[in-house]
Structure 1
């Protein structure tokens, strides 16, 4: 069944979303007190022409016009109005020891000292990783999405501030990409209509045993995994309209002589060493941090349900899953109410939604009156800043990992009690015999 967006044409809604985001950029997020690292990613959008509405010229518009006028001019073209908007993702090269090895991501990386600002870091990283120049006349820097804190140890330790920037390429053909083999294994253009479809929603199973047994070996990890299973994260199965593989990546052409033995493969799987366990054959799944960024963006499109389709992480083991569900029920309900207050879980007007999100985020963080925060403060012209959790998925996860830790402790106590009861029963049985 077609969504309202697909019936009316996604390009029409994309035009409105980009115009609003340009006029009302997200505020600056300062570095956490204990971390001074920043990183940037580039959300690169294009409109692919359709068969029945092919462009008659390759005009890229007047680059001297203001951004708002350039957007109006671009989206006024018939081939754009009837085209398919797409976003560019990369699949990171598989590398041993890399926490993001083989993940689907947006082009980007850490900010270097020579970068003048966060936007410059996104532009430089896109040039280095995929060979795409985002400063040319056929590319429009539209704006940004909410900056956010990237954390580890289940939200307790900040790693960096991540800044997502939006760029629109006005070309009707595919831009030439030059993939860096040490960073990028492949690139994929994904249609918005596929990202918005509930039918491609799934889960990613992640082994978290190394988080509990960092200094332990194979047997300890196996024990933790057998007890707790895999962690489940919301994910989207990607359906590319166009892909480009980096043939210089090691392992692009499998070499039968270097295939690992059965025992080596089993050990690699048990230790979750993705860089050595057939990473190239894994499906394209968008999850984690990058999915959080896309959720903020996609929720601005009808039917405005991207946040509702996103689910907090949990576990696959039934009793642990039940404990997590019960222990986080009230918290999840409370956080959803915060999103409703922001207008995120309702089909509200986009302009009202953006203002409401800013107001609610500040209400949650600083206990301010929602009515005191308006458009001027959100635009950043007054220099106002916000914290690193003032975005949709960040609000959904407020306090969640703290409850998750408690759930794991309760689960371990439950399993110990259950095991003790089973052992005592067995002892009584054999003693009677």
Structure 2
């Protein structure tokens, strides 16, 4: 399948898009900035310069790796500049402006940044969608050049301008193992989580393998410690590519539903979700696609665990009967 990234058309569509607002949203809010820029400086003397970007210009997006902190739920993850809305912020987009300036030293108001548009709001949850944590807004900006970065070391471990089209490369699409016990509440005892993990194993989630620049601090990490693009940030790019790369979005090239590591649970989940998956493949991806799919998928995972547990009990009971019959004979 031919890789397609139509930047100009996608930016135009996004600028005309009216993002959906989430009703009954959690009180805690956060914003991130998707910042697209170019190595070759564009002629920003023309107010309509984003509509005149040469086809040969390669777009890059700014990715950061969060600092390593025990208190941070997303410690060391790949992310976008942004953070929690403060009481002094008058709007969500002002939060994106402020956090971008604080974390990477880019003043979007002074760097000739053009605000393209916003993606749909998304409610970030935990425990397989049971508990809402915050409401996240994502704003897309385009810069005529790559400004210098000044990292806030307490928040950002490293930052890199990454070729936007490389996030769609088939060879970069992969799966990573996520501990299934994260579906349990934090209040559960550790031994309960350990038993749950032993019984269920990991969940295999979609992710994007990144190639880091040798000058990046992330490159200095051992290969097994280098992060993937996954989770919330991954979901934002899935939504972005709905506008910028319709072919990849239509065929879900850069994201798919997670599955269980253990084959018995994987088979049971595949059986229960076959019609759900078919329905998803019959519709064109829309805003907040990842979380929409997962929210409808998690009930099937819970059903899978119940049926899988009963199935394993039945196998143990059957094995017990066979062993008992063997010794009696």
Fold-level similarity (TM above 0.5): yes
Q: Could you list the per-position Cα deviations for residues 193-232 of structure 1 after superposition, in whole angstroms to 9, with x for gaps in the alignment?
A: 2112112110111112254374455544433222211111
Q: Check conservation: 2:129, 2:295, Cα contact below 8 A.
A: no
The aligned residue for residue 391 of structure 1 is: 288
Partner residue, 1:418: 315
Shift of 1:404: 1.2
How big is each residue's C-alpha offset from its partner over 1:215-257, in whole Å with a ceiling of 9 and x where there is no partner?
Answer: 455544433222211111111112245764389xxxx89xxxx
Residue 409 of structure 1 corresponds to 306
Structure 2 residue matching 1:222: 3-state secondary structure: helix
Change (3 A) 1:24 1:233: same
Q: Distance in 2 between matches of 1:46 and 1:322?
A: 44
- CA-based RMSD: 2.7
Counterpart of 1:318 (choices 237, 255, 263) is 263
Counterpart selection for 1:103 from 77, 83, 104: 77
3-state DSSP of counterpart to 2:107: coil
C-alpha contact 2:13 2:243 (8 A) present in aligned 1: no
- DSSP-derived class of the 2:243 partner: coil
Conserved 8 A contact 1:206-1:231? yes
User: Cα distance 1:423–1:223, how it changes in 2: closer, same or farther (>3 A)?
Assistant: farther
CA distance in 2, matches of 1:59, 1:399: 46
1:71 pairs with 2:50: yes
Q: Quick check: 1:187 aligned with 2:178?
A: no
* 1:43 aligned to which of 9, 34, 49: 34
Distance 1:28 1:291 in 2: 20
Alignment deviations for residues 81-105 of structure 1 (CA, whole Å, 9 cap, x no partner): 3221111111111221422111111
* Structure 2: segments with no counterpart, 5+ residues: none
Q: Separation in 2 of the partners of 1:243 and 1:143?
A: 32
Q: 2:241 aligns with which of 298, 319, 334?
A: 298
Match of residue 235, structure 1, among 204, 207, 210: 207
Whole-angstrom distance in 1 between the partners of 2:167 and 2:59: 11
Superposed CA offset, 1:337-365 (max 9, x none): 3x24xxx4xxxxxxxxxxxx5xxxxxxxx
Match of 1:176 in 2: 148
The aligned residue for residue 273 of structure 1 is none
Q: Is contact 2:11-2:243 (8 Å) kept?
A: no
Alpha-carbon spacing, 1:31–1:163, altered in 2? closer, same or farther (3 Å): farther
Residue in structure 1 matched with residue 16 of structure 2 by the alignment: 23
CA contact (8 A) 1:194 1:239 kept: no
Pairing 1:61–2:45 present? yes
Q: Distance in 1 between matches of 2:312 and 2:3?
A: 48
For residues 210 and 20 of structure 1, the distance between their equivalents in structure 2, rounded to whole angstroms, comes to: 37
Inter-partner Cα distance in structure 1 for 2:10 and 2:163? 16
Q: 1:414 Cα shift?
A: 1.1
Matches within 5 A, 1:248-287: 281-287=224-230
| Counterparts of residues 66-215 of structure 1 (less than 5 Å) | 69-73=48-52, 75=53, 80-171=54-145, 174-212=146-184, 214-215=186-187
- Any conservation in 2 of the 1:31–1:161 contact (CA below 8 Å)? no
Counterpart-to-counterpart distance in 2, 1:88 and 1:137: 14
Task: Give the CA deviation at 1:165.
Answer: 0.2
**8 Å Cα contact 2:11-2:244 kept in structure 1:** no
- The number of residues matched between the two structures is 327
Q: Does 1:334 align with 2:279?
A: yes
Q: TM-score, normalised by structure 2?
A: 0.89
Distance 1:188 1:281, change over 3 A: farther
